[in-house]
Structure formats: structure tokens, C-alpha cells
């Protein structure tokens, strides 16, 4: 029997049990990484997801080269993750409720936001306005994609403008903060939602703990940037366990309907 070790309590978990428990440790409730496809699987009604914006691909327009070139990095990541980009967008049903849904994946270059993520959030926003259905985005990102330079910074403005049009159209906009959500994504579309839900154990901050520690040259409190600390500080509406997200979303979507 294949086993994995919990990152938090270090107990061994049988792989099958781990997956059936939605990638959450059954002994300590630590919420582990879940990829975008699996997230879709556990969130939407079966066979209800129709992907949008599949034809958009990242471009190494700066010929960015650090220890490898951005174009090579993209190719490798696509193969490794079987994803086209750090976000999947589409239309779906959650307990029969139509939503425009975006799911980010931290596994794709740290869930970083470049031109494609920006464009997909814009397409999704336009789509939900056109169909008049709520906008739901699962966030997971280390921030802006450095390999796209300042253009990645501009995606913050682009996505905020896009979701702002959703808000102006009086369409509900809900984000779910998952581990981790930081930098350019946390300081743009993730935090301007009408309702912000956090999963347990999600790091949610602008500057990451390493950078903050360097600046203040002191140890950080152990709960720095956690969902619990953010709830206490008034930065999120609620913390919801992964197994209850579907029902919480359903409840919210129904409240907005009337």
C-alpha cells in the first residue's frame, strides 16, 4: 500500500484514504496541495464543466533567461503538470447553480500570474457578465510571473479592472483563498471579491514570510499569514474545510439568487 507523509503531523497516510479525504490529512486536518483538475472534480457537478479560453498560450516575449529560458520552463511545466497554464477557466454547475469558475494551480510555475492568467480572468469575467452568472475563483499563487517582467505586474491592473466590471454588473463574486495566495494575485483580483473564503492552513499575504523576516530581522509569529490569523485580522469572511466548500458555495449562491 502506497503511503504519503503528512507535512504537518508527519503521520503516514494511505494514499487511497488521503485522496478519499480530499487530500486532507485524516489525523490533523492539514489541507494539502490539490491540483486544479482534482479541485474541479471535487467542486462541480459531474460532467458540468465546459472549459473556456483553451487556445491561449504563454509567449516568451522578453526572451527571459535566468538559469533556464522561460520558453523551456514553460514546455517542461506543461509536460510535468499536464496543464496549459496556472489557471483553468470555464462554466460549471455547483449543485445545479451555474457559475463562471476559475481554478488556479500552484504546480504551474508557482501559480504565477502572467499574460495568460490575466487574459483568462478577463475572458471569464466577460463570460459571467454575458451569461449573468456568479463568478467564483479558487486562488493559489506565489504572485506575478517574473519571467514576463512588468507585463505580469500589469496583469494585476488588468484582472482588477475585469472583475470590477463584474461587480458593477451586480454579479456576485466569490474567491476561495487556498495555500498559498500571495504577491500579485493577493493584491489584485483575489482580495476585491464580495466574499472571501479561506481554506484552513492557507498562507495568505502580500509579502511572503521569508521577505518579511528579512526586513524586520525578527522571527515571525508561527501563525503569520495563516487563514486563522487573517480571519482574526478581518481579512477573510470565513474559513471553510475542503469537504464543506461545495455546500458553503451552494448556500451562498442561493442567497444571492433571491
* Interacting residues with other proteins (CB under 8 A): 55-59, 61-62, 64-67, 114-116, 118-119, 122, 144, 146, 148-158, 160-162, 164-165, 182-184, 186-192, 204-207, 211-212, 214-216, 220-221, 224-225, 229, 233-235
Closer of 36 and 190 to other proteins (Cβ): 190
Long-range contacts of 5-14 (CB under 8 A, 24+ apart): 6/30, 6/32, 7/32, 8/201
171, β-bridge pairs = none
Closer of 33 and 224 to other proteins (Cβ): 224
Least gap, CB of 19 to other proteins (angstroms): 32
Cα(155)–Cα(190) distance, rounded to whole angstroms? 12
146 DSSP assignment? G
Least gap, CB of 226 to other proteins (angstroms): 11
Closer of 43 and 226 to other proteins (Cβ): 226
If phi > 0 it is left, if psi is from -120 to 50 it is alpha, else beta; for residue 82 that is left
Least gap, CB of 224 to other proteins (angstroms): 7
Least gap, CB of 98 to other proteins (angstroms): 24
Closer of 94 and 185 to other proteins (Cβ): 185
Closer of 116 and 140 to other proteins (Cβ): 116
100, β-bridge pairs = 91, 135
DSSP string for 184-217? HHHTTGGGSSSEEEE-TT--B-SS-HHHHHHHHT
Least gap, CB of 240 to other proteins (angstroms): 19
Phi then psi for 13, rounded to 5 degrees? -120, 130
Amino acid at each position: 500500500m502506497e503511503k504519503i507523509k503528512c507535512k504537518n503531523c508527519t503521520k503516514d497516510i494511505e494514499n487511497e484514504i488521503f485522496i478519499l479525504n480530499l487530500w486532507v490529512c485524516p489525523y490533523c486536518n492539514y489541507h494539502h496541495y490539490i491540483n486544479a483538475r482534482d479541485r474541479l472534480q471535487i467542486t462541480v457537478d459531474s460532467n458540468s464543466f465546459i472549459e473556456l479560453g483553451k487556445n491561449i498560450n504563454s509567449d516568451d516575449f522578453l526572451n527571459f533567461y535566468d538559469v533556464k529560458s522561460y520558453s523551456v520552463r514553460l514546455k517542461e511545466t506543461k509536460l510535468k503538470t499536464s496543464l496549459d497554464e496556472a489557471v483553468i477557466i470555464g462554466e460549471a454547475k455547483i449543485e445545479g447553480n451555474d457559475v463562471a469558475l476559475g481554478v488556479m494551480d500552484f504546480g504551474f510555475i508557482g501559480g504565477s500570474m502572467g499574460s495568460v492568467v490575466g487574459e483568462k480572468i478577463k475572458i471569464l469575467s466577460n463570460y459571467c457578465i454575458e451569461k449573468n452568472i456568479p463568478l467564483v475563483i479558487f486562488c493559489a499563487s506565489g504572485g506575478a510571473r517574473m519571467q514576463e517582467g512588468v507585463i505580469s505586474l500589469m496583469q494585476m491592473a488588468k484582472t482588477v479592472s475585469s472583475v470590477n466590471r463584474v461587480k458593477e454588473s451586480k454579479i456576485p463574486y466569490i474567491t476561495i483563498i487556498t495555500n498559498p495566495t500571495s504577491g500579485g494575485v493577493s493584491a489584485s483580483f483575489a482580495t476585491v471579491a464580495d466574499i472571501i473564503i479561506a481554506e484552513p492552513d492557507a498562507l495568505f499575504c502580500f509579502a511572503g514570510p521569508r521577505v518579511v523576516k528579512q526586513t524586520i530581522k525578527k522571527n515571525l509569529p508561527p501563525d503569520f499569514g495563516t487563514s486563522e490569523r487573517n480571519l482574526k485580522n478581518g481579512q477573510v469572511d470565513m474559513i471553510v474545510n475542503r469537504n464543506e466548500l461545495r455546500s458553503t458555495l451552494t448556500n451562498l449562491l442561493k442567497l444571492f439568487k433571491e
